[in-house]
Amino acid sequence: MSTAAIRSSPWPARAVGAVSIVALFALLEALIRTGVVNRFVVPLPSQVLAAIPRVIAEENVAQRFWQTTQEVLWAALFLALAGIVLGALLYRFRLLRLACETWVGALAAAPVVLMYPLFLVIFGRSAATIIAIGFAAGLPAVILKTVEGLAGTRQVLIDVGRSLKLTSGQQFRKILLPAALPTIFVGFRLGLIFAMINIVGVEFLINFGGLGQLINEMAERYDLPATYAAICFVVLVSVLFFDVTERVERWMRRIV
Amino acid sequence: MDAAHRLTVATPASTAHRVLALRVAIVTSILVAWEALSASGLLFRDVVPSLGAIGRALVRLLGTPEFYSHLSTSAGEVGAGLAIGAALGLAAGILLGANRFAADAYEALIHYLGPTPKIIFFPVMIMWFGVGAGSKVAMAAVSCFFPIAISAAAGMRGIDRVLIRVGRSFRAGTWQMVSKIYLPAMRAPVLNGLRLGLGVAIIGTLLAETKLSNRGVGHLIIQAYATFDMPRMYALLTVVFVIAIGLNALIGYAGRRAR
Amino acid sequence: MERATATRLLDVEGITKRFVTAEGSLTAVDDVSFGVAPGEFVSVIGPSGCGKSTLFNIIGGLAGDYEGRVTVGDAVVTGPHEAIGMVFQEESTFPWRTVLENVAFPLEIAGVARVERHERARNFVTLVGLAGFEGHYPAELSGGMRQRVAIARTLASNPRILLMDEPFAALDEQTRMLLGDKVLKIQQTLKQTTLLITHNLTEAVQLSDRVIVMTYRPGRVKRIVDIDLPHPRDASVVGSDRFGRYVAEIWQDLREEATRGIEDSEAQARAGHAAR
């Protein structure tokens, strides 16, 4: 029966959502100006907004952004190499997979980032610590999704390879890996997001690095608007990162 | 020839044995490698303490009542944060799942703010809630709000529509609909959200404790770092990991039972 | 034909419902009026697309935005009404509650204390023939048993009118007939006023005092047939001559409407294919 109602456009709702949030901040501004909310605890939203360009200009934000990006890129490289290789090994050796897959799952649930003091001892207060934590935090996701992707290859494709008498190396490179690529990318993106979150977090905690360190520095200077501004900026960057990687993932799914 | 033949006709029971054997082998080799690395002195002293030293530190740790006092502080912070974050997250998720307009207006906010580093909000939490437990509870609440809200919204949308019509046909009130229909129908996704929420709540609380606190397990960890008491740090990390993984497994098990 | 208004418990007056779809305005139900007297068993029958489910939702108070009026006794229906109990077509038992807890649900909503509501629910569980299954979960029961739980649950809310939307649609023919039989016996025992929506002709004649035949979209009342078969009835009435004549008579009207429905969907399919 074609009596289903048409799904109305989401734009009016989105407009209402956006306007209501702006209204909320306007309300906050008013409450602070009238003294209801202490301006030494919550700075004026207008001040925070004004602080953003100031912070960007004075605090070398571009260079910091590049530093954090480098850390993420290194983590991404290690994640791709180690994650896919380990995932492939687990897939290749069934017994190993049966033995270790739940362990990797458990590791995914573990608070890996809490090991940062340990890494501080091993690597010192350096980019290596930050990259190492990012890598450790993202690795389980990449491994698990790689195994899942490879294991999910349709049997008929594997049979095609066998019927053509491909070696297991060729089988892996020409059939299994391409077929598993979308799922592997999902895992890679997931791992990358976990890595990014932990990288910025550890930068903040150990007061070293790029964007995370910026926030810590502003906080230690008691520059309230700048602290809030830096936090907003970092949140913006992370949202962008999440959105861009989501688009790439969707694009991948279409072309593969 | 014979061995290969035996391999291909392996029975499930023997597979289980071989998995166990492999696991034992892996764990043993890791422990042996560790001990060798520790004894060799290749890395500077104490970064890799001997297993014996870690064991002794663990015993010492679990033997002192002071540790349990710190543990209960952290547990209390995590618990309170989880309670607050879960209540708000469930409410938000139910609202977003039930009302398409609200979802179109606000769900993107939660979807995009979720995967951000929450620890960077800690300075703000300190300003608002002080340097004590308050800021840690706030960290936990902010951290776990997102996975719980997202799971609850998805759970709401997955409820069999006819069950909602049954409730309405019997004129159930809003709270009755939530407590007697929505929540029971969403048990599995909500439990999964709680599992994820607990994980990030633990992380949020303990990281905050490492940054600025004089109580709690996070504080003990950073203290061990400051005093370079590596066996103690390993012991603490072991305890935290065991608890976190254990709780995660428990809730995961409950979630599977609820299906 | 139509009984006098004074003896009606349920009064459906001039119900018209239009939907806005991608293709334009669609009239699902057009000026439908009929009544149900106390203790009567009335069936509404029609082909797919005649607006039966729309009517069900309107009478039950779950649909709004229509023209016309539905009254129960003195009250106008503006939302789910305590005098009307609904049994849905789909699987509607709560999977996380036992049979007893499912049946006790309406009493729980009404605020009845636990011991009392379980006691009362137990009676209805026995009434539908599921005594002994109180502690079972719906997943452990067959489809027919689950529908009995749904019926018991609705009866437990003590409705003046029982409104059912093709409750046996998902069941096989034999189960359907036996279950229908059981429902009829319950109805006769309780003197429960019942309105059954169905597309199954045999079922309608087997169970009802009157059958309301609807046209294909837009759904209108085509004919109302008095079923003058003896009470008490059971499944064996299906074999009688009179039964056969009623079925044949109603089938004439139904067939016309069902044919229109088939032709319409074929036309739609052709149009949809051409548009590709």
| pLDDT value for C179 | 86
Tokens of A17: 């959502």
Q: Taking CB atoms and an 8 Å limit, are A110 and B244 in contact across chains?
A: yes
Between these two residues, A116 and C264, which has the higher pLDDT value?
Answer: A116
For residue C39, report the phi and psi dihedrals to the nearest 5 degrees. 80, -5
Residue of C nearest to B174 (CA): C109
Does A41 touch chain C if contact means CB atoms closer than 8 Å? no
pLDDT more than 70, % of chain A: 97
Q: What is the dihedral of CA B209, A235, B138, B109, to 10 degrees?
A: -150
Q: Taking CB atoms and an 8 Å limit, are B166 and C91 in contact across chains?
A: no
* pLDDT tens for each residue of B96-111: 999 999 999 999 999 9
Whether residue A256 has pLDDT greater than 70: no
Q: Taking CB atoms and an 8 Å limit, are A111 and B18 in contact across chains?
A: no
Which residues of chain C does A6 touch, with a Cβ-Cβ cutoff of 8 Å? 20-22
Q: Taking CB atoms and an 8 Å limit, are B101 and A16 in contact across chains?
A: yes
Of B169, B176, B184, the CB nearest to C80: B169
Which residues of chain A does C19 touch, with a Cβ-Cβ cutoff of 8 Å? 3, 5
For residue A102, report the phi and psi dihedrals to the nearest 5 degrees. -65, -30
* pLDDT tens for each residue of A112-144: 999 999 999 989 899 999 999 999 999 999 999
Burial of C206-245, coded b for 16+ CB within 10 Å and e otherwise, reads: bbbbbbbbbbbbbbbbbeebebeeeeebeeebbeeeebee
Q: Taking CB atoms and an 8 Å limit, are A239 and B113 in contact across chains?
A: yes
* pLDDT tens for each residue of A146-190: 999 999 988 888 888 888 888 888 888 888 888 899 899 999 999
Rounded distance, CA B232 to CA B238, Å?
10
Of C23, C48, C54, the CB nearest to A2: C23
Cβ-based neighbours of B55, under 8 Å, separated by 6 or more? none
* Nearest-neighbour CA in chain C from B172: distance (Å): 6
Q: Indicate left, alpha or beta for C72 from its phi (over 0: left) and psi (-120 to 50: alpha).
A: beta
Does A6 touch chain C if contact means CB atoms closer than 8 Å? yes
Whether residue C6 has pLDDT greater than 70: no
| pLDDT value for A1 | 41
Residue A4: pLDDT band with limits 50, 70, 90 = very low
- Is the peptide bond prior to A53 cis by the omega test (within 30 degrees of 0)? no
Q: Taking CB atoms and an 8 Å limit, are C54 and A6 in contact across chains?
A: no
Residue of A143, A247, A115, A135 whose CA lies nearest to A196 = A135
* Nearest-neighbour CA in chain A from B196: distance (Å): 8
Strand bridging mode C161-165 / C193-198:
parallel
Which residues of chain C does A1 touch, with a Cβ-Cβ cutoff of 8 Å? 48-49
In a domain, A96, yes or no: yes
Tokens of A15: 């407009």
* pLDDT tens for each residue of C48-89: 877 888 999 999 999 888 999 999 988 999 999 989 999 998
- In chain C the beta strands, taken as DSSP E runs, fall at 10-21, 24-36, 41-45, 67-72, 75-76, 84-87, 161-165, 193-198, 210-214, 221-226
Which residues of chain C does B163 touch, with a Cβ-Cβ cutoff of 8 Å? 92, 94
Q: Taking CB atoms and an 8 Å limit, are C22 and A1 in contact across chains?
A: no
| pLDDT value for A6 | 55
Q: Which of C59, C89, C92, C149 to mutate to test the interface with B (most CBs of B within 10 A)?
A: C92
Residue B6: pLDDT band with limits 50, 70, 90 = very low
How much is the pTM?
Answer: 0.84
Of B162, B172, B180, the CB nearest to C92: B162
Q: Taking CB atoms and an 8 Å limit, are A110 and B222 in contact across chains?
A: no
Q: What is the DSSP string of B82-132?
A: HHHHHHHHHHHHHHHHH-HHHIIIIIHHHHHHTTS-GGGGHHHHHHHH-SS
Q: Which of B24, B43, B120 to mutate to test the interface with A (most CBs of A within 10 A)?
A: B120
Range of the domain at A136: 58-255
* Nearest-neighbour CA in chain A from C48: distance (Å): 8
Which residues of chain B does C157 touch, with a Cβ-Cβ cutoff of 8 Å? 170
* Nearest-neighbour CA in chain B from C86: distance (Å): 7
Residue of C nearest to A4 (CA): C21
Which residues of chain B does A98 touch, with a Cβ-Cβ cutoff of 8 Å? 15, 19
Cβ-based neighbours of B77, under 8 Å, separated by 6 or more? B133, B136, B137, B140, B205, B209, B216
Whether residue C35 has pLDDT greater than 80: yes
In a domain, A109, yes or no: yes
The arithmetic mean of pLDDT across residues C150-174, rounded, is 91
Residue C123: other Cβ atoms inside 10 A: 13
Query: Contact, B203 vs A114, CB < 8 A?
Result: yes
Which residues of chain A does C22 touch, with a Cβ-Cβ cutoff of 8 Å? 2, 6
Total domains in chain A come to 1
* Nearest-neighbour CA in chain A from C237: distance (Å): 34
| pLDDT value for A3 | 43
Which residues of chain A does C27 touch, with a Cβ-Cβ cutoff of 8 Å? none
Domain of residue A75, CATH code: 1.10.3720.10
- Is the peptide bond prior to C167 cis by the omega test (within 30 degrees of 0)? no
**C5-83+195-274: which CATH number, 3.40.50.1820, 3.40.50.2300, 3.40.50.300, 3.40.50.11810?**
3.40.50.300
Q: Taking CB atoms and an 8 Å limit, are A117 and B22 in contact across chains?
A: no
In a domain, A251, yes or no: yes
The arithmetic mean of pLDDT across residues C12-33, rounded, is 88
| Range scoring the smallest mean pLDDT among A197-201, A203-207, C242-246 | C242-246
Q: Taking CB atoms and an 8 Å limit, are B162 and C82 in contact across chains?
A: no
* Nearest-neighbour CA in chain B from A127: distance (Å): 18
* pLDDT tens for each residue of C227-263: 988 877 777 787 888 899 999 999 998 888 888 888 8
Q: Taking CB atoms and an 8 Å limit, are B171 and C105 in contact across chains?
A: no
Q: Taking CB atoms and an 8 Å limit, are A113 and B207 in contact across chains?
A: yes
Q: Looking up tokens 């590596």, which residue turns up?
A: B230
| pLDDT value for B3 | 47
Between these two residues, C14 and B1, which has the higher pLDDT value?
Answer: C14
Burial class (CB in 10 A: 0-12, 13-18, 19+), A98: middle
If you count residue pairs, one on A and one on B, with CB atoms under 8 Å apart, how many are there?
135
Q: Taking CB atoms and an 8 Å limit, are B26 and A99 in contact across chains?
A: yes
